[in-house]
Amino acid sequence: MNASGPGCCIWMTGLSGAGKSTIASVLAARLERRGRTVTLLDGDIVRTHLSKGLGFSKEDRDTNIRRIGFVASEVVRHGGAVICAVVSPYEATRNEARQMVGGGSFVLVHVATPIAVCEQRDVKGLYAKARRGEIKGFTGVDDPYEPPVSPDVVLTTLDCDAEECAATIERLLEARGFL
């Protein structure tokens, strides 16, 4: 089995509860079925290991993204596929990650679920806490989210389930010669 190929980074940005983790894990399974070795850098998991101790100030958020960008660049350099599922609210910092990885290997996916839907899902109960003021600086509530200026894929998650969303990304990877 050829576990490596052209290295690629699939960077998924979007609000909390948009569906990044869900789509990322479905996509990872699909790529693995095609013989690729996949590294999944999920925001929540990264924050318990690689970025333990960092908070949600702009500075800490940027540090978190730069660390993820660095790890992603190493994976890509060795021919792996890496999926980064992180809110990554700032355009400039996402662009830094793109530069670290190399633009030709970087696929930007905007999981663009409307905030009302994310809030209705409220998977982790965080929106309710943010609205009550128990969490400060929550993206989309009292902290900014800058939608990507030039995403490669936009998924609203309203008209397709996670499997279909992942399939859309997979088709793009195929079209770009990553699979």
Give the binding site for ligand ADP (CB under 6 A).
14, 16-23, 85, 111, 121, 123, 157, 160-162, 165
Token reading at 89: 């609210």
Give buried/exposed letters for 74-96 (b at 16+ CB in 10 A, else e): ebbeeebbbbbbbbbbbeebbbe
User: Among residues 21, 88, 105, 150, which one is catalytic?
Assistant: 88
The rounded distance, in Å, linking the Cα atoms of 104 and 6 is 10
**Nearest to residue 87, comparing CAs of 143, 131, 48, 35?**
143
* Nearest distance from C-beta of residue 143 to ligand ADP, angstroms: 15
CB of 155 to ligand ADP, least distance (A): 7
CA triple 28-124-37, angle to 5 deg: 10
Nearer to ligand ADP, 5 or 155 (CB): 155
Nearer to ligand ADP, 10 or 23 (CB): 23
Residue with nearest beta carbon to ligand ADP: 19
Of residues 5 and 94, the one with the C-beta less far from ligand ADP: 94
Catalytic residue flag (residue 21): no
Minimum distance between the CB of residue 18 and ligand ADP, rounded to whole angstroms?
4
**Cβ proximity of 91 and 64 under 8 Å:** no
Active site residues: 88
